[in-house]
């Protein structure tokens, strides 16, 4: 499985999970989640958790992916770095999340 090495990853105060270990939406109830990736596994999980998660950010770098998302989800840029609970995106936007879910595939 591929796990990106985000600058500051070791400072993150939340939980980082690879999609390989996803089981069901119960772990995501009321949580804010950054899903990294916008391919099949990431979007399958998005569909599964959107009814229970508080907020979902889908972080990716594919300009051609613009399909509508549910009300509590939005597309955001790639993660540039992490500083504690601040997840800083390439466009400078800062979000906070309880969980970073890596839908980054396998290499």
Please give the Cα distance from 101 to 98 (Å, whole number): 10
67-85 residue pLDDT tens: 889 999 999 999 999 999 9
Predicted pLDDT at 36: 96
Q: C-alpha distances in angstroms, 82 versus 15, 16, 20?
A: 12, 12, 22
Strand order of the β-sheet with 99-102 is: 15-18, 99-102, 32-36, 55-59, 73-76
For the chain, give the mean pLDDT: 93
- Among all chains, which residue has been given the structure tokens 């889908």? 58
User: Per-residue pLDDT for 41 more than 90?
Assistant: no
- Across the range 31-36, mean pLDDT stands at 98
> What is the CATH number for 70?
3.50.50.60
Structural domain includes residue 85: yes
Q: Is residue 4 part of a domain?
A: no
Length of the chain: 107
């Amino acid at each position: 499985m591929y796990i990106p090495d985000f600058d500051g990853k070791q400072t993150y105060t939340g939980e980082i999970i690879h999609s390989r270990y996803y089981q069901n939406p119960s772990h995501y109830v009321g949580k804010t989640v950054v899903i990294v990736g916008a391919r099949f596994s990431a979007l399958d999980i998005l569909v599964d958790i959107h009814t229970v998660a508080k907020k979902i950010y889908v972080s990716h770098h594919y300009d051609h992916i613009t399909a509508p998302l549910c009300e509590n989800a939005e597309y955001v840029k790639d993660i540039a770095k992490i500083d504690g609970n601040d997840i800083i995106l390439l466009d400078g936007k800062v979000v906070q999340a309880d969980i970073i879910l890596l839908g980054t595939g396998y290499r």
